[in-house]
Amino acid sequence: MEMTEARIQQDSIVWFRNNYCLKHHIPQFVIFSVPNEGRDVVEQMKKKATGMLKGVSDTIIVLKNKTIYCEFKDNKGKQKPDQIMFQIKVTELGHEYWLVRSLEEFQLKVWDELGILNEEL
């Protein structure tokens, strides 16, 4: 069964929070989603007026001295032009941007970033 983008994002956030964001984790990292879509035109207009930016990544991960922007796609998903422009902007500013297509890929990127070896590999 193919995973949806929403499910990949949800599973990744739950896994990350359980492993790196609880009170006993030192340092305690942060991950959050960026709800960048509205249910209707009025909600979209309100969000745009209060700073919504088209193309922003699905999630932002805050580590010690580093911020990572993470976009989730399923195996068939492609970035929209606004998402590509956002990726270019943040990477040109020196930030990292991940395009992730599975929980496993997300875990590997996190472990690589944190310098953690996974014994199961």
Instruction: Give me the architecture of the 5-113 domain, per CATH.
Output: 3-Layer(aba) Sandwich (3.40)
How far the first Cα of the chain sits from its last, in Å, is 23
Beta strands 66-72; 59-63: pairing state: antiparallel
State pTM to two decimals: 0.87
C-alpha 81/C-alpha 42 separation (Å) is: 24
The domain locations on the chain are 5-113
Residue 121's pLDDT is: 44
C-alpha 87/C-alpha 56 separation (Å) is: 8
Residue 52's pLDDT is: 75
Mean pLDDT by 10-residue block, N- to C-terminus, for the chain (121 residues)?
89 97 96 80 75 88 96 95 97 97 97 80 44
| Secondary structure (3-state) at 20 | helix
Residue 38's pLDDT is: 61
CB 32 within 8 A of CB 58: no
